[in-house]
């Protein structure tokens, strides 16, 4: 009886080992997994577009904020004065353009006057020439008339040159004038800088590392804290290179975050990194040595989390475990796999 029990126990252990081995082989073949995975999201390093002294901080660290919500305000006094200065420069440019336009109009009138005088002088010169040919007047009078015509022609040339000069100084008219456009651009920049004294959130998310206080001075382009956007989350899972042949974009995945061990998130393979995790490191491995030992490399695979939940808030950089279903392929995964 004892021998029979012993054989039964041995048989049960053998069956368990076979079943366990078959299960492990099945899971490893069709459901590759890794615990070398970390949660990620879009992060924005909040930095001002203008420099100045902070006069108001409207939020606190770790606060949930909405897109376009005010985060902090920089003293706008200097930038408001620059707007007024730019407005005055624009008005001055428009006034100068109006003066140049008046100069062009006056030059046109002088050209017309010179044309009339030339026509009159030419008519007199012809008439005197006819009188000379008939003997009614002397040659000197005809020469004087011709000289007057030449002088009138020269005056017309001077007037036309002055008109060309006036037009060149004016350039384009109205709002198309370069001086006006330059002044308008300066005004737009000044108004933009004034608006930038109010720093707002670029996305819905949560703040991290906020230590800013009223009275602090901030520099243009220097980040003050981080905004973690919470609309899209993913996991960067580092799979062994021997698993990559079975993994394709579009395949379904299951993600378990260590923070919530009992909750599983649905995921989808988005992309596979074209290089291993060490390929672009500061000191990449050099294998051209005699004591080289082959080490299986890991390649980052990005898994998009499809069902983030406010009940289980995710946090950037936390650990996760990922399992990919390579057995039941979606149409997108099938198309990706069949693409040559």
DSSP 105-164: HHHHHHHHHHHHHHHHHHHHHHHHHHHHHHTSS-HHHHHHHHHHHHHHHHHHHHHHHHHH
Q: Give the whole-angstrom CA distance, residue 79 versus residue 220.
A: 14
Q: Give the whole-angstrom CA distance, residue 100 versus residue 175.
A: 14
Q: Give the whole-angstrom CA distance, residue 248 versus residue 44.
A: 29
Residue entry with tokens 């000069």:
165
If one counts every other C-beta atom within 10 angstroms of the C-beta of residue 280, the result is 9
| pLDDT band of 220, cuts 50, 70, 90 | very high
Q: Give the whole-angstrom CA distance, residue 154 versus residue 120.
A: 14
What structural domains does the chain harbor? Answer: 32-42+231-338 (2.40.30.170), 52-75+197-218 (2.40.50.100), 78-192 (1.10.287.620)
Supply the pLDDT for residue 286: 65
Instruction: Supply the pTM of this predicted model.
Output: 0.71
Query: 255: number of CA atoms within 13 Å, CB side?
Result: 32
Render pLDDT for 11-67 as a digit per residue (tens, 0 to 9): 666 655 655 554 544 455 568 889 999 999 999 999 999 999 999 999 999 999 999
Spatial strand order in the sheet of 217-218: 198-200, 70-74, 52-57, 217-218
Q: Give the whole-angstrom CA distance, residue 162 versus residue 159.
A: 5
Supply the pLDDT for residue 1: 62
Render pLDDT for 268-316 as a digit per residue (tens, 0 to 9): 999 999 888 776 666 666 666 666 677 788 899 999 999 999 899 999 9
Q: What are phi and psi of 96, to 5 degrees?
A: -65, -40
């Amino acid at each position: 009886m004892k021998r029979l029990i012993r054989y039964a126990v041995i048989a049960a252990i053998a069956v368990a080992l076979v079943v366990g081995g078959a299960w492990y082989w099945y899971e490893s073949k069709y459901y590759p997994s890794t615990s070398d995975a970390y949660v990620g999201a879009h992060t924005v390093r909040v930095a001002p577009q203008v420099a100045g002294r902070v006069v108001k901080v409207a939020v606190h660290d770790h606060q949930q904020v909405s897109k376009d919500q005010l985060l902090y305000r920089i003293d706008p006094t200097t930038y408001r004065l620059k707007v007024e200065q730019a407005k005055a420069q624009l008005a001055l440019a428009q006034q100068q353009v109006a003066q140049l336009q008046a100069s062009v109009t006056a030059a046109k009138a002088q050209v017309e006057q010179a044309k009339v005088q030339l026509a009159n002088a030419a008519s007199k010169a012809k008439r005197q020439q006819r009188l000379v040919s008939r003997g009614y007047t002397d040659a000197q009078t005809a020469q004087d008339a011709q000289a007057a015509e030449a002088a009138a022609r020269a005056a017309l040339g001077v007037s036309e040159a002055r008109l060309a000069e006036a037009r060149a100084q004016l350039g384009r008219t109205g709002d198309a004038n370069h001086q006006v456009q330059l002044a308008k651009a300066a005004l737009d920049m000044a108004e933009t800088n004034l608006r930038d004294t109010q720093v707002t959130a670029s996305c819905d998310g949560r703040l991290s590392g906020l230590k800013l206080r009223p009275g602090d001075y901030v520099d243009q382009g220097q980040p003050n804290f981080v905004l973690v956007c919470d609309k899209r989350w993913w996991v960067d899972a580092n799979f062994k290179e021997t698993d990559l042949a079975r993994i394709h974009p579009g395949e379904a995945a299951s993600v378990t975050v260590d923070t919530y061990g009992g909750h599983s998130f649905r995921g989808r393979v988005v992309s596979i990194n074209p290089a291993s995790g060490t390929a672009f490191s500061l000191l990449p491995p050099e294998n051209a040595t005699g004591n080289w030992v082959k080490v299986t490399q890991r390649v980052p695979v990005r898994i998009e989390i499809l069902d983030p939940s406010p009940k289980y808030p995710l946090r950037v950089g936390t650990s996760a475990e990922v399992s990919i279903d390579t057995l039941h392929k979606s149409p997108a995964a099938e198309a990706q796999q069949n693409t040559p």
